[in-house]
Structure 1
Amino acid sequence: MDLKRLILGLAFGGVLFSGCNDELSQVGPSIQPEGDRSFVYADTFQVEASTIKLDSVYARTVNGLLGQIYDPLYGNLKTDYICQFYCPEDYKFAHEPIDGKVDSMAFFIMYNNGGYVGDSLAPMQAKIYKVTKPLDRNYYTNMDPAEYCDLQTLIGEKTYTAYDLSISDSIRKITDTSDPNYYTPNVRIRINTDVAQSFYDETINNPNSFHNQEAFNNFFPGFYVTTGFGTGNILEVAQSSFFIYYKYMSKTSAGNDTIIHTREQFNVTKEVIQMNQVENGNIEQLLQPNDEYAYIKSPAGVCTKVIVPTSVISEKIEGRIINGLNFSVKAMPQEEWLYAFEAPDYVLLLPEDSVQSFFLNNKIEDSVTAYLASYTSSSKTYSFGNISNLLKKHVESKPNEDLRLLIIPVARGTQNSNNYYGESKPVTTSITNYMKPAGVRLKKDKESMQMVVLTSKYND
Structure 2
Amino acid sequence: MKVKYLGALLLAATLTFFGCDDNTGTLGIGMLPGSDGISAHTTTFDVTTRSVVADSVFAKTSTGYVGRFTDPQFGYYEASFLTELNCIDDFSFPEKYDFDKKTGILTDDTVAGVRLVVFYSTWFGDSLNACRMSAYELDKKLERNRYTNIKPTDYYDWLNPIKSLLGRRAYTAYDTSVTDEERNETDSNGNKTYYPSVIFTLDKDKFGNDWIDLC
Question: Where in structure 2 are there 5+ consecutive unaligned residues?
Answer: 1-35, 40-44, 97-105
Residue 166 of structure 1 is matched in structure 2 by 177
The one-letter code matched in structure 2 to 1:121 is: L
Q: Secondary structure at the match of 1:134?
A: coil
Considering only aligned residues, what root-mean-square deviation do their CA atoms show, in Å? 2.9
Output the CA distance in 1 between the equivalents of 2:184 and 2:191.
Answer: 13
Give the partner amino acid of 2:120.
Y
| Residue pairs, 1:95-114, within 5 angstroms | 95-96=95-96, 97-112=106-121
TM-score (norm 1): 0.31
Distance (Å, rounded) in 2 between the aligned partners of 1:99 and 1:131: 30
User: 1:365-410, CA deviations, whole angstroms, 9 ceiling, x for partnerless residues?
Assistant: xxxxxxxxxxxxxxxxxxxxxxxxxxxxxxxxxxxxxxxxxxxxxx
Larger strand share, 1 or 2: 1
Q: Determine if contact 1:69/1:77 at 8 Å carries over to the other structure.
A: yes
1:191 to 164, 180, 202: 202
SS in 2 for 1:100: coil
The 5 A counterparts of 1:259-270 are none
Distance between the aligned counterparts of 2:110 and 2:117, measured in 1? 22
Gaps of 5+ in 1: 1-16, 21-45, 204-460
Q: How many residues align?
A: 160
- Percent identity between the two aligned chains: 29
Using a 3 Å threshold, how does the CA distance of structure 1 residues 167 and 180 change in structure 2: closer, same or farther? farther
Match of 1:130 among 137, 140, 156: 137
- What is the rounded CA distance, in whole Å, between the counterparts of 1:192 and 1:202 in structure 2? 16
Q: Secondary structure at the match of 1:162?
A: coil
Cα distance in 1, alignment partners of residues 207 and 185 from structure 2: 35
Q: What secondary structure does 2:80 align onto? A: strand
Contact 2:140 2:155 in 1 (8 A): yes
* Structure 2 CA distance for partners of 1:99 and 1:128, relative to 1, 3 Å: same
What is the match of residue 213 of structure 2?
201
- What CA distance in whole angstroms lies between the structure 1 residues aligned with 2:172 and 2:88? 34
Residue aligning to 1:87: 87
Pairs within 5 Å for 1:24-423 = 50-55=49-54, 56-96=56-96, 97-112=106-121, 115-151=122-158, 152=161, 153=163, 154-176=165-187, 182-193=193-204, 194-203=206-215
With over 3 angstroms needed to count, the CA separation of the structure-2 counterparts of 1:116 and 1:180, relative to structure 1, is: closer
Measured in 1, the distance between the counterparts of 2:192 and 2:112 equals: 24
Query: Is contact 1:125-1:159 (8 Å) kept?
Result: yes
Whether the 8 Å contact between 1:171 and 1:181 is mirrored in structure 2 is no
- Which structure is richer in relative contact order (CA contacts within 8 A, separation 6 or more)? 1
User: How far apart are residue 69 of structure 1 and its match?
Assistant: 1.1
SS of equivalent residue, structure 1 residue 64: coil
What is the one-letter code of the residue matched to 2:176? L
Following TM superposition, by how much is the alpha carbon of 1:181 offset from its aligned partner in structure 2, in angstroms?
Answer: 8.6
Residues of 2 paired with 1:177 and 1:159: CA distance? 33
CA distance in 1, matches of 2:111, 2:130: 31
Contact between 1:109 and 1:188, CA under 8 Å: does it hold in 2? yes
User: How far has the Cα of 1:175 moved from its partner?
Assistant: 3.9
The residue aligned with 1:405 is none
Deviation of 1:140 after TM superposition, in Å, equals 2.2
Instruction: State TM-score, norm by structure 2.
Output: 0.63
Change in 2 beyond 3 A, CA 1:100/1:65: same
CA contact (8 A) 1:123 1:161 kept: yes
**2 CA distance for matches of 1:177 and 1:65?**
31
Alpha-carbon contact 2:186-2:192 (below 8 Å) kept = no
The whole-number CA distance in structure 2 between the counterparts of 1:177 and 1:63 is: 27
1:99, CA displacement in angstroms? 4.1
**Conserved in 2, the CA contact under 8 Å of 1:156 and 1:192?**
no
Distance 1:166 1:149, change over 3 A: same
